[in-house]
Structure 1
Amino acid sequence: MSAGAPEYTPQALRQNNPAFSAGRVLAMVSRHVYLIRSSWPRLLEMAYWPTVQMIMWGFMTQYLAGHANFFAQSFGLLLAAVLLWDVLFRGQISFSVSFFEEMWSRNLGHLFVSPLRPAEMVAALMTMSLLRTILGVVPASLLAIAFFGFSIYELGLSLAAFFFSLIMFGWAIGMVVSGLVMRFGLGAENLAWAAIFALLPISGVYYPIAILPEWVQHVSYALPSAYAFEGMRSVMIDGTVPWGLMLRGFLLNAVYLAIGAWIFSLFFQAARRRGLLLQIGE
């Protein structure tokens, strides 16, 4: 060993490598700070969940404060709302997660080397979303009968309208989220969960749209989900099926599905041109 060269013996390494180093801690913290700073979805997520919870439960509390006999008049209303909300949630998240699984396994590029077309992939993701939603919601609905004596199937034919209206809206959101992740990478993956819950406070899931501020009501009635949940309450409280509301919801779904398909196609073409389909993965 030449003179003046540092020693790399185990004893010397232990002396120069303390059991706990504030410098190493700071290096790891800095690494995650840079990661968050470079990813706007991560920055958004930190303030997102507390804000959504505060808004939803604030409106819920405001509604219940003026309706003391709410639960006595409408037994099962919240259970129906929970089950139908799960249709929307699972419809969207199942679509997105099925797509993410191809990205996580770095299989997306392999798929599109084959004759598979984007429209065919979207159709397959919709089918998987439908299957996963049915497998998730049906057992829960049967347990609601066993535990609470409440059957959502008493909604009759209107239940099918609510179900398909909500799952179609979930597909539209799933296409947008999948397109964004395909274009901007897995850093935007949290949008799959964040996007759907942003709609929870303004969709009238647990309370009528009328309880919202007037300007928010205009936003709510631009969402197909609002018509489904308003229709559900009309059936359970008044015993009438508002087919007019359901028709508006399905017309909006057609618009959102077209927008979702356009965005998915737009980001797919951009990702293909930039060679991102072969680069994204865990």
Structure 2
Amino acid sequence: MSEIATHHAISWHRIQAMVLRYWYLLMSSWPRLLELIYWPALQIITWGFLQNYISQNDNFFARAGGTLIGAVILWDILFRGQLGFSISFLEEMWARNLGNLMMSPLKPIEFLISLMIMSLIRLAIGVIPMTLLALFFFDFNFFAIGLPLIAFFCNLIFTSWSIGIFVSGLVLRNGLGAESIVWTLMFGLMPLACVYYPVAVLPDWLQWLAWTLPPTYVFEGMRTLLIDHVFRADLMVWSLGINAVLFVASFAIFLALLRSAKHHGSLLGGGE
């Protein structure tokens, strides 16, 4: 009877061993450690700036019109464009199939183009119902924006691909322990991209950094179009120029990380 009681008793040594396992796993992965600080800081910064913007504009909601709904839809295009790209990549990592692909005649550029196409397919499946809901429930016709919508969409999708290529390279090199970067990096850009408020709300020392991000120009252009009914083509040109630089840089970084993964043998592993 005493042996049975001992068998069913809780062992704090075993609990301690498991806690140590998870502690070492956490401390050995900087993305996991950073994520613990990342989300609380991101929430307070993003909504803090929005609070400042609303408090500085007494008639904010009257002037805002459909800018908040428009910002939500454009943000979803940006986020889901990157997520659709990265999820398709992660599915190869989860299936431990990436090594097979890299040993096949498939070229890296062909692999990336296929991921871009899948991101468009995934994006369409998610965003089209979203725009219809905005129309029926809130009387906001997203497609009434007209031709400027093409400029908004192209710039946002190019940014999402650049970030998708970059984070895929990081996961490729560091393994699935860096998987959280796929979900978190884009949200880190939200406060600086000024999704829900203009760049002028940011402190002066942050504004210059915000203007280095292509989405900032898109969201500023969207607000100008919906509030002042003016299309700022110059903002779209600047966004496209920065996107071109980011796209080339992300592809070069991906190739460098791919070579590093092959050199260090992490291509076939892909574990934690």
The TM-score normalised by the length of structure 1 is 0.94
Which is helix-richer, 1 or 2? 2
Distance 2:40 2:20 in 1: 25
Matched with 1:8 is none
Matched with 2:196 is 206
Q: Which residue, 21, 24, 33 being the options, matches 1:43?
A: 33
Match of 2:83, SS state, is helix
Distance 1:150 1:221 in 2: 28
Aligned partners of 1:106 and 1:281 also within 8 Å? no
Match of 2:190, SS state, is coil
Matched with 1:106 is 96
Match of 1:171, SS state, is helix
Q: Which residue, 133, 137, 154 being the options, matches 2:144?
A: 154
Matched with 2:165 is 175
Matched with 2:127 is 137
Distance 2:158 2:2 in 1: 65
Matched, 1:227 2:217: yes
Matched, 1:91 2:81: yes
Q: Which residue, 256, 261, 264 being the options, matches 2:246?
A: 256
Offset at residue 152 of structure 1 (A):
1.0
Distance 1:167 1:12 in 2: 66
Offset at residue 28 of structure 1 (A):
1.3
Matched, 1:270 2:260: yes
Match of 1:115, SS state, is coil
Which stretches of structure 1, 4 residues or more, deviate above 6 A after TM superposition? none
Aligned partners of 1:204 and 1:226 also within 8 Å? yes
Sequence identity of aligned pairs in percent? 49
Root mean square deviation, CA, Å: 1.3
Aligned partners of 2:175 and 2:269 also within 8 Å? no
Letter in 2 for 1:150: F
The TM-score normalised by the length of structure 2 is 0.97
Q: Which residue, 212, 216, 235 being the options, matches 1:245?
A: 235
Matched with 2:154 is 164
Q: Which residue, 53, 56, 59 being the options, matches 1:63?
A: 53
Distance 1:41 1:74 in 2: 37
Output one character per residue of 1:130-154: Cα deviation in whole Å (capped at 9) or x when no partner. Answer: 1111211111001110111111111
With over 3 angstroms needed to count, the CA separation of the structure-2 counterparts of 1:252 and 1:25, relative to structure 1, is: same
Aligned partners of 1:63 and 1:211 also within 8 Å? yes
Stretches of structure 1 that go unaligned for 5 or more consecutive residues are 1-10
Letter in 2 for 1:65: S
Distance 2:263 2:29 in 1: 22
Distance 1:172 1:39 in 2: 24
Match of 1:17, SS state, is helix
Aligned partners of 1:172 and 1:261 also within 8 Å? yes
Stretches of structure 2 that go unaligned for 5 or more consecutive residues are none
